[in-house]
Amino acid sequence: MSREGIAVAKEYGTGLPVFASASEAEKTLLAQRDATLEALDLEIQSLRPDYSPDSLKGLEKWYVEKGSPEVGLGGYSLPLAIGFYFGEVLCRRAGFEWFVAEFAFERGRYEIGVRKPLVSIMLTKGKRPRIEGNKRMQSLWREYGNYAA
C-alpha cells in the first residue's frame, strides 16, 4: 500500500470505536446493531420491513423522500441503520454472516460487518444510498445483487 493509502486508512481508523478487547467490541457492536435495527423497524413499519432484497428499494425510496436525514426519530443514525439493514438482508438471503474485527491499521479500534468466503463488507460507518444518477432509487438493491450473485 502506498504512503497515501496508509494515511487514508489511518484517518479512517480514527473514526472507529475503541475497545479494550475483541470480546468487548463484539458484545457492544452487535448490541448496537440489534438496537439500531429495532429502532429502524419501528420507524418504517408502514414499509413492512421483511429483510427481503426488494425491501431495500422501499427503504431507499423512503430515505431519499425524507431528504436523506442523518438521524431517525429515536435519535439513532439513519445511515448506520441502513447499513445494518443492508447487512442483515445479505445475512438472511445471501449466505453472509456478521462479524467484528480489529481494524488492521489502528490497534484497539474495531469494525462490524458481514462476510462470506472471499467477500467482507464493513458497515461500522453505515451506508448512504446514492442520490446523484439514482432516479429509480434502487442503488442498495443493485448493490445487493452484486454481492448475492
Question: Which ranges of the chain would DSSP assign to H, the alpha helix?
Answer: 3-13, 22-43, 55-65, 78-94, 139-148
What is the predicted pLDDT for the residue at 55? Answer: 95
The whole-angstrom separation of Cα 102 and Cα 107 is 7
Report, as ranges of residue numbers, the positions in the chain whose pLDDT lies below 70. Answer: 133-134
As beta bridge partners, residue 114 has 98, 121
Question: DSSP label at 45?
Answer: G
Element housing 126 (H / E): none
What is the predicted pLDDT for the residue at 14? Answer: 87
What is the predicted pLDDT for the residue at 2? Answer: 86
Going from N- to C-terminal start, the domains of the chain cover 3-148
What is the predicted pLDDT for the residue at 11? Answer: 85
Give the global pTM.
0.92
What is the predicted pLDDT for the residue at 13? Answer: 84
Q: How many CB atoms lie within 10 A of CB 21?
A: 11
